[in-house]
Amino acid sequence: MDYVLHILTLICLFSAIAVSLDLLAGHAGLMSVAHSAFAGLGAYGSALIAERLGVPFVLSVGAGMLVAAVLSALVSLPSLRVRDDYFVIATFSFQMVAFGIFNNWIDLTQGPFGVTGIRKPLILGWEIDSPLELFLFAFILAAFAHVVVAYLTHGPAGRVLHAIRDDEDYAQSAGVNTRKIKILIFAVSCSLAALGGAFYGSYISYIEPRNFSIDESILILLMVALGGAGSLFGPAVGATVLLVVPEILRFTGMPSDIAFNIRQCFYGAMLVLIILYWPKGIMGRVRLGR
Amino acid sequence: MKRLLCENLWKSFDGTVAVEDVDIEIPLSGITAVIGPNGAGKTTFLNLLTGFARPDIGRIVLDDIETTGLAPHRIARLGVARTFQEVRLAVSISVIENVLLWSENRGSRRGRQGIPAAARRLRGKANRRNAERILDMVGLEDHAAASAGALSYGQQKLLSLACCLAMDPKVLLLDEPVAGLHPEMTLKVLNLMRLYRDQGKAIVFIEHDIGAVRQVADGLVVMDHGRVIHQGVPEHVLQLREVIEAYIA
């Protein structure tokens, strides 16, 4: 039962991160391959602030989100002049720099050894530590991320985002300050990813750079592509499929290092096949990144 | 009199002059056509007026407000709506949502801040009624819920025009509004332009179809090689030898 709850908790956490990427890539047309870096900023930021400053869980998570939102401006401010492929390259560069910092700034992040002993969430004296409580907390967090994304993608705000995605010049001619909106939506998306990352660190109690590598960013992107960009629950469906399939591989008795490599090949092949033959994924409304 | 003033506008791209010393005054009432052969600089001129291109030299003044170098969205909020030569829309959202987008983003940002929720809801309802009225006016009311990308080319051109009308701009800038339309649709667009003019608003449009220009234009600007070679009433300007030669060449 605990194993099932663990998988469900991970599905909720990855759904929250994937739906935050969908806000950016599916709804605003800004394809990013740096989302695990922003989740990592939330995880490291929250864990280190809680550990070194003794700040309560909620405040440390808020600080982690703030760090991610502020640093998102490092990507968005200079790179919003460029579009499409060049924006992807800018986010890729940020991903590599962030990973380099997680891995090499040993005084701060303890490098490849990672940050250990991260405390479980403690809210108003209630320590959330049983598998069921942790799952419920992850579920609430995923629901919160979905509500934020639903709010921002419906009504007037949604129209603005979708117009930017479809044709930025058209949106500008309608009176939309596209530059400001893109910076804001990038910050919101990255801080939601940081929220997922912060809770992931607290849930697993240990984070290391590999948790937030380009492989993980591709995995999150694949969740959106498979589930369907621009649909509220598509990323959650993608997260479910992509977290359950590797678990099935466990029961084949395959050595874990081989299973890991097969999983990476499976993710890469799937991303190529989806983009070529199934661009709207399972329940998507638009092609990813347009 | 309210006017759109262009003073000594110059614009070049990689050494090629696209707009050269354009110095004209367009009244903010009536319909003004801009004609000229391909490459005359008409679309660049429109891009300068709407902020999609920045002049190298010169200034643009709209109704006593200088708009030179302002971002396109700021110029739009000052009351300048435009269409593009190739139809540009938010194709993944519905027809009525495209119109609502333009209604909701018109006017100054400051004017929309600090409005109580109840007033925002009322404004939202008013915007929707306005969008429905405009779709009815252009004949797209039956397609309100359809995706904009699913419309025919002619219907998309009508929708572009409807979006601009939803903004209730001071001046409407149209880039070849009847190009590629069948005669019935062309008539509809020209009637809508007349209707808008009769409300005391201004339209500036680029057009190659001289028949359409003759039907609706009150004033005419002729461009060639980036320069304005003539400006006046269409009946007079269209008979000038220099204009005919520029067009035939």
Q: Strands of A178-251 (E only): list them.
A: 206-207
Chain B residues closer than 8 Å to A175 by CB: 73, 76-77, 102, 105-106, 167
Smallest Cβ–Cβ distance between B76 and the set A173, A179, A230 belongs to A173
pLDDT band at A139 (very low <50, low <70, confident <90, very high): very high
pLDDT the model gives residue A265: 84
Residue range B150-160, pLDDT digits in tens: 999 999 999 99
Instruction: Determine which of A80, A167, A173 to mutate to test the interface with B (most B C-beta atoms within 10 Å).
Output: A173
Identify which of A162, A175, A230 has the shortest CB distance to residue B73.
Answer: A175
Q: List CB contacts (< 8 A) between B50 and chain A.
A: 173
**Best mutation target, B73, B74, B99, to test chain A (most A CBs within 10 A):** B73
> Is residue A227 over pLDDT 70?
yes
Query: Does the CB of A214 have a partner CB in chain B at under 8 Å?
Result: no
- For chain B, residues with pLDDT lower than 70 are 1, 108-117, 248-249
Residue A274 pLDDT: 84
Q: Which long-range CB contacts under 8 A does B143-148 form with residues at least 24 apart?
A: B143/B95, B144/B94, B144/B95, B144/B96, B145/B94, B145/B95, B145/B96, B146/B94, B146/B95, B147/B91, B147/B92, B147/B93, B147/B94, B147/B95, B148/B89, B148/B90, B148/B91, B148/B92, B148/B93, B148/B94, B148/B95, B148/B97, B148/B98
Residue ranges of the domains in chain A?
2-211
User: How far apart are alpha carbons A94 and A32 in whole angstroms?
Assistant: 10
**C-beta of residue B28 within 8 angstroms of C-beta of residue B2:** yes
Q: What is the pLDDT, as a whole number, of residue B248?
A: 65
What is the Cα–Cα distance from B95 to B87, expressed in whole angstroms? 14
Is residue A17 scored above 60 in pLDDT? yes
**Interatomic CA distance for residues A138 and B142, integer angstroms:** 45
Residue A247 has pLDDT above 60, yes or no: yes
Label residue A257 by pLDDT band (50, 70, 90).
confident
Reported as type and span, the H/E element at residue B118 is helix B117-138
Spatial distance between the Cα atoms of B242 and B230, rounded to a whole number of angstroms: 9
CA-CA distance, B136 to B81, in Å (whole number)?
A: 20
Kindly state the DSSP code that residue A120 receives in the 8-state scheme. P
User: Among A31-35, A112-116, A286-290, which is the least confidently predicted range?
Assistant: A286-290
Mean predicted confidence (pLDDT) in A83-99: 89
pLDDT value at residue A192: 97
What residues in B contact A171, CB-CB < 8 Å? Answer: 90, 101
Confidence (pLDDT) at A14 = 97
Q: Give the pLDDT band of residue A106 (cuts 50, 70, 90).
A: very high
Asked whether the beta carbons of residue B89 and residue A177 sit closer than 8 angstroms, the reply is: no
pLDDT of A162 reads: 96
Q: CB–CB of A205/A116 below 8 Å?
A: yes
| A285 part of contact set with chain B, CB < 8 Å | yes
Helix (H) or strand (E) holding B7: strand B3-13
pLDDT confidence of residue A248:
82
| Lowest mean pLDDT, pick from A197-206, A223-232, A270-279 | A270-279
The B-side interface with A (CB below 8 A) comprises: 50, 52, 71-74, 76-77, 81-82, 84, 88-93, 97-98, 100-102, 104-106, 109, 124, 163, 167
A35 touches B at CB < 8 Å: no
pLDDT at B222: 94
**Chain A: closest CA distance from residue B90 (Å):** 5
Contacts of B82 in chain A (CB under 8 A): 173
> Measured between beta carbons, which residues in chain B are less than 8 angstroms from residue A229?
none
**B16 exposed, middle or buried (CB, 10 Å; 0-12, 13-18, 19+)?**
exposed
Judge whether A172 is closer than 8 Å to chain B, CB to CB. yes
User: Contact A156/B90, CB-based, under 8 Å?
Assistant: no
Q: Is A151 on the interface with B (CB under 8 A)?
A: no
Name the band, by pLDDT with cuts 50, 70 and 90, for residue A196: very high
